Chain A
Amino acid sequence: MSSIQVEVLGSGCKKCQQLETNVRAAIAALGLEAEVLHIIDPIEIANRGVMATPALTVNGSVVSKGKVPSSAEIQRLLSA
């Protein structure tokens, strides 16, 4: 299985940490090989065209923003 790159975008607030936890849980549940980065620099976040944190990118494209999807939802986003 090819490795995917996932970025959690958020300035370190509680919701962002919750998102990272959910992302890791989703990856583990799917048995994927993935690199998870947590981007906290607000300018990097803006660069990705995101205006509401926390947000999530998969392989460079934004798949969720301004909310904390559940692990099950993230599994759907990852397998899409």
Chain B
Amino acid sequence: MFDPFYLFNWLATQIVTRFLGLPINSHLGASLHFFLYDVPKVLTLLLVISFLVGTVQSFLQPERVRQWLAGKRTLGGNVLAATVGIITPFCFCSAVPLFIGFLEAGIPLGITFSYLISAPMVNEVAVILLWGIFGLKVTLLYIGFGVALAIGAGYTIGQLKLEHWVEPFVWQLQRAHSGLTQDQTIAAEHLTWEQRLQQGWYQSHQIVQSVWLYAVVGIAIGAGIHGYIPTAFITQVAGADNPLAVPIAVLLGVPLYANVAGIMPITEALVNKGLPLGTVLAFTMAVTALSLPEMIILRKVLRPQLLAVFISLMTIGIISVGYLFNLLLG
């Protein structure tokens, strides 16, 4: 198969074997090769893909998404919300305004949740790293299961009719604003291609700036594992035979939100050493979808009961995906 990173691989091999004179299968040689190959690969992917995604995202303002979702029926609406969530921008700092804005427009709670789950879980940084590290097939499986989870959890929340566990002031806002929610500002969003590309470039620049250090440190740790930790160790601790590995990975993932860029290279090294891929994917989903800061911020609009339902549904869902993956890919 065509390897777009052949050149990086070749270059890293040349530096290790010719320039430093180390055998590629020695501890230090293997570690250095891992590092020298992964750093340029991951940074290039981040720069290029976040530029493309940032440019496309300039077409997908939340107002537009809201227009698409308003008036959609359950299930169909959940599917659309989760799918749109793949490509739309999302920062957990916007979660509350977005949540209120969607409900204000009359979008059902369950559909709002489908979007709120899919948008951060299938985010560009996680997808880029999965693709660069584990390949296209694994990435597509991740996106597919992520969207399925967002549809399932959102649909369930919708069916349970938990609207009374949304903080009451949200519904009061809805009444106060109804009539003026017609998107007044959307007309103003006529951007030229130059502006869109600028926005893409800005976004790419921002993302690389905020994650490059995590990525490099993560790759360095991954490189250490790759060269020095024996395979038997990982397989024993977290191999396919350990039924608790998936739930433990999920629990570990929750507090690690911002560091997905640093964590993926470490998991790459662990997978090379025999850690089952499903465990890794469950872990990645937990990192992106169940972040502690997002939960704290959502508490402003959700009663603790609804937050608990949301977290439980997601945890059960992610753990099931992990087991399913290990079955499918094992």
Chain A interface (Cβ within 8 Å of chain B)?
10-16, 42-43, 45-47, 49-53, 62, 65-68
Q: Is the Cβ of A49 less than 8 Å from the Cβ of B297?
A: no
A-contacting 9-mer, from B9-17, B70-78, B91-99: B91-99
Instruction: State whether the Cβ of B62 lies closer than 8 Å to any Cβ in chain A.
Output: yes
Interface, chain B (partner A; CB < 8 A): 61-63, 66, 89, 91, 93-102, 104, 169, 173, 177, 180-181, 184-185, 199, 202, 206, 210, 297, 300-301
**Contact: B96 with A52, CB < 8 Å?**
no
Residues of A with C-beta under 8 A to B61:
52, 65-66
Q: Are B96 and A43 in contact (CB-based, < 8 A)?
A: yes
Does B63 lie within 8 Å of A51, measured CB to CB? yes
A80 vs B301: C-alpha distance in the bound complex, in angstroms? 36
**Chain A min CB distance to B302 (Å):** 12
The one of A15, A49, A52, A66 that contacts B181, using a Cβ cutoff of 8 Å:
A49
Task: Known A12-B93, A42-B96; judge A49-B300 contact (CB<8 A).
Answer: no
Q: Are A15 and B206 in contact (CB under 8 A)?
A: yes
A42 contacts across to B, CB distance below 8 A: 93, 95-97, 297, 300
| Cβ contact within 8 Å between A51 and B202 | no
24 A-B contacts (beta carbon < 8 Å): A11-B94, A13-B91, A13-B93, A42-B297, A43-B100, A43-B300, A46-B96, A46-B97, A46-B100, A46-B104, A49-B181, A49-B185, A50-B97, A50-B101, A51-B63, A51-B94, A51-B101, A52-B61, A52-B94, A52-B98, A62-B185, A66-B94, A67-B202, A68-B202
Given contacts A42-B97, A52-B94, A11 and B199 within 8 Å (CB-CB): no
In the docked arrangement, what's the CA distance between A10 and B89, Å?
15
Q: How far is the CA of A42 from the CA of B296 in the complex (A)?
A: 12
Chain B residues within an 8 Å CB radius of A53: 91, 93-94, 97
B203 to chain A, nearest CB (A): 9
Instruction: State the CA gap A45–B101 with chains docked (Å).
Output: 10
A11: contacting residue among B93, B173, B301, CB under 8 A: B93
Interface of B is mostly: helix
Q: Which residues of B contact A13 (CB under 8 A)?
A: 91, 93
CA gap between A22 and B93 in the complex, in Å: 20
Could you tell me if A66 and B93 are in contact, using CB atoms closer than 8 angstroms? no
Nearest CB in chain A: distance from B63 CB, A: 7
Determine the residue in chain A with the shortest Cβ distance to B198: A70
- In the complex, A45 Cα to B94 Cα: how many Å? 9
In contact, A52 and B202 (Cβ under 8 angstroms): no
Residue from the list A43, A47, A62, A66 in contact with B62, Cβ < 8 A: A66
Tell me the smallest distance from the CB of B294 to a CB of chain A, in Å: 11
B66 surroundings in chain A (CB, below 8 A): 51
Whether A45 contacts B97 by the Cβ 8 Å rule is yes
Chain B nearest CB, measured from A22 CB (Å): 12
Chain B min CB distance to A21 (Å): 14
Contact A47 B93 (CB under 8 A): no
A68 vs B301: C-alpha distance when bound (angstroms): 26
Bound Cα distance A62, B189 (Å): 12
Q: How far is the CA of A50 from the CA of B97 in the complex (A)?
A: 7
Q: How far is A47 from B91 in the complex, measured between Cα atoms in Å?
A: 18
| CB proximity of B199 to chain A, nearest CB, Å | 6
Which of chain A's residues has its CB closest to B102's CB? Answer: A51
Which chain B positions have C-beta within 8 A of A16?
A: 93
Cα of A65 to Cα of B183 in the assembled complex, Å: 13
Q: Check if A11 sits within 8 Å of B297, measured CB to CB.
A: yes
Q: List A contacts of B181 (CB < 8 A).
A: 49
A44→B173 CA distance, assembly (Å): 11
A51 to B64, CA, bound (A): 11
B103 — nearest CB in chain A belongs to which residue? A46
Whether A49 lies near B177 (C-beta < 8 A) is yes
Residue of A nearest to B203 (CB): A67
For residue A68, which residues in chain B have a CB less than 8 angstroms away from its CB?
202
